[in-house]
């Protein structure tokens, strides 16, 4: 098995990369408040984690996570999603080279509570099955795994002029074809793709979920595993990135002027009280929210002021708050 897989640089790839570059710059330079960005990043993280699990058969939906406390914490499907969220956090906090330890740690994180053997390459033959239960690909034997993984790691860490999105795509499909673990290969492989993108400064401000479109097209996604040439897969993945960038850019633009909808429930209620009364004091708000500590109300007011919803009148304990007129 050749690592990395062969591919041809096509006009379609170049066109997709150029369009991705434009959207990337626009997305990273949008002038929107930090509170909205944080909410959209959390939403993207949840989608990436959930849809990565759904590709492997997880049945949970986004709506389930609005009532997370009602989902048994011991439920396997909940554990799968929460583990992937933890793995994304691990990736973002790691800055050194991607190595074998990194891959083992990803496997340990995503399989915690789901399997007994964590962070070890398989020692038996394996196969990749589609959603109908039919084998679509037979990966290399266990005796070849260590050498092939070393080749992937060397490829990822060797500086080159190759576009980082192509390198990440090749690392991902090569990893999936090696299929080094008994379980969790798809999740680890998609996390590896994200890690290579981040390494090349292509995190897209943590605002896109490529996994969402891969889940929608998972039959096509699986079909590329049995090919020795990666050209079509790279085009497929670049197209998926562009689709999600376009969707995310539209979503961010739509929310840019409706960031009030992203406010925490109590903070939105504080804003409504200020709008109703035209001008209010901290004491009035503390009486309305008598179970909430005063420092929490002051913090809510500070965030509303920073987001441009209200203005503070005065600088002493007797300061008043009024809605900002737009």
Q: At what angle do helices 34-55 and 185-199 cross, to 10 degrees?
A: 150
Domain span at residue 275? Answer: 263-323
CA of 249: how far to CAs of 60, 79, 240, 316, in Å?
26, 30, 14, 42
35-59 pLDDT, tens digit each: 677 778 888 999 999 999 999 889 9
Instruction: Supply the pLDDT for residue 63.
Output: 76
Question: Exposure of 196 by Cβ count < 10 A (0-12 exposed, 13-18 middle, 19+ buried)?
Answer: buried
Q: Tell whether 285 and 162 lie within a shared domain.
A: no
Instruction: Supply the pLDDT for residue 71.
Output: 60
Q: How confident is the model at residue 260 (pLDDT cuts 50, 70, 90)?
A: low
Among 205, 238, 256, residue at a domain's last position: 256
Q: Tell whether 290 and 241 lie within a shared domain.
A: no
> Taking 70 as the threshold, does the pLDDT of residue 91 lie above it?
yes
- The answer to the question of residue 6 being in a domain is no
- The answer to the question of residue 1 being in a domain is no
Q: How confident is the model at residue 268 (pLDDT cuts 50, 70, 90)?
A: confident
CATH number, position 124: 1.10.3290.10
Q: How confident is the model at residue 326 (pLDDT cuts 50, 70, 90)?
A: low
Q: How confident is the model at residue 70 (pLDDT cuts 50, 70, 90)?
A: low
> Taking 90 as the threshold, does the pLDDT of residue 15 lie above it?
yes
> What b/e string do you get for 298-310 counting C-beta neighbours within 10 Å, with b at 16 or more?
eebbebbeebebb
Q: Tell whether 194 and 244 lie within a shared domain.
A: yes
> What b/e string do you get for 149-177 counting C-beta neighbours within 10 Å, with b at 16 or more?
bebbbebbeeeeeebbbbbbbbbbbbbbb
Instruction: Supply the pLDDT for residue 264.
Output: 80
Q: How confident is the model at residue 65 (pLDDT cuts 50, 70, 90)?
A: confident
53-57, 76-80, 191-195, 264-268: least confident range? 264-268
Q: Tell whether 80 and 223 lie within a shared domain.
A: yes
> What b/e string do you get for 226-239 counting C-beta neighbours within 10 Å, with b at 16 or more?
eeeebbbbbbbbbb
Q: Cα 47–50–53 angle (5° rounding)?
A: 145
Sign of the CA dihedral 290, 295, 296, 301?
A: positive
Give me the phi and psi of 295, to 5 degrees please.
-65, -30
Give me the phi and psi of 21, to 5 degrees please.
-60, -45
Instruction: Supply the pLDDT for residue 31.
Output: 66
> Taking 80 as the threshold, does the pLDDT of residue 175 lie above it?
yes
**Which comes out higher in pLDDT, residue 261 or 193?**
193
Instruction: Supply the pLDDT for residue 129.
Output: 76
Of the segments 149-163, 213-227, 295-309, which one has the largest average pLDDT value? 149-163
Q: How confident is the model at residue 62 (pLDDT cuts 50, 70, 90)?
A: confident
Instruction: Supply the pLDDT for residue 104.
Output: 96
**Considering the chain, what is the average pLDDT of its residues?**
88
- The answer to the question of residue 84 being in a domain is yes
């Amino acid at each position: 098995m050749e690592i990395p897989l062969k591919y041809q640089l096509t006009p379609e790839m170049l066109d997709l990369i150029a369009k991705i570059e434009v959207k990337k710059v626009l997305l990273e330079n949008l002038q929107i408040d930090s509170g909205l960005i944080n909410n959209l990043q959390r939403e993207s993280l949840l989608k990436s984690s959930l849809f990565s699990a759904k590709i492997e058969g997880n049945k949970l939906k986004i709506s389930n996570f609005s009532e997370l406390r009602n989902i048994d914490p011991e439920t396997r499907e909940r554990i799968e999603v929460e583990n992937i969220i933890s793995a994304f956090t691990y990736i973002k906090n790691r800055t050194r080279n991607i190595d074998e330890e990194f891959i083992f740690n990803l496997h340990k994180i995503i399989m915690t509570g789901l399997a007994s053997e964590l962070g070890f390459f398989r020692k038996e033959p394996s196969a990749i099955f589609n959603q109908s239960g039919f084998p679509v690909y037979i990966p290399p034997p266990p005796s070849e795994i260590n050498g092939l993984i070393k080749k992937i790691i060397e490829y990822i860490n060797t500086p080159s002029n190759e576009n980082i999105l192509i390198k990440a795509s090749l690392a991902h499909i090569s990893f999936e074809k090696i299929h080094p673990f008994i379980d969790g290969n798809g999740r680890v492989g998609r996390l590896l793709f994200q890690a290579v993108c981040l390494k090349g400064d292509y995190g897209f401000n943590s605002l896109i979920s490529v996994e969402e479109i891969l889940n929608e097209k998972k039959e096509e996604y699986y079909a590329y595993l049995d090919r020795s040439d990666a050209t079509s897969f790279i085009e497929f993945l670049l197209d998926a990135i562009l689709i999600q960038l376009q969707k995310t850019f539209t979503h961010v633009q739509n929310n840019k002027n409706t960031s009030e909808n992203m406010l925490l429930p109590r903070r939105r209620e504080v804003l409504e009280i200020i709008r109703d009364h035209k001008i209010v004091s901290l004491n009035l708000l503390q009486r309305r929210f008598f179970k909430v500590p005063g420092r929490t109300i002051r913090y809510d007011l500070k965030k509303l002021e920073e987001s441009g919803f209200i203005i503070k009148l005065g600088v002493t304990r007797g300061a008043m708050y009024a809605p900002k007129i737009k």
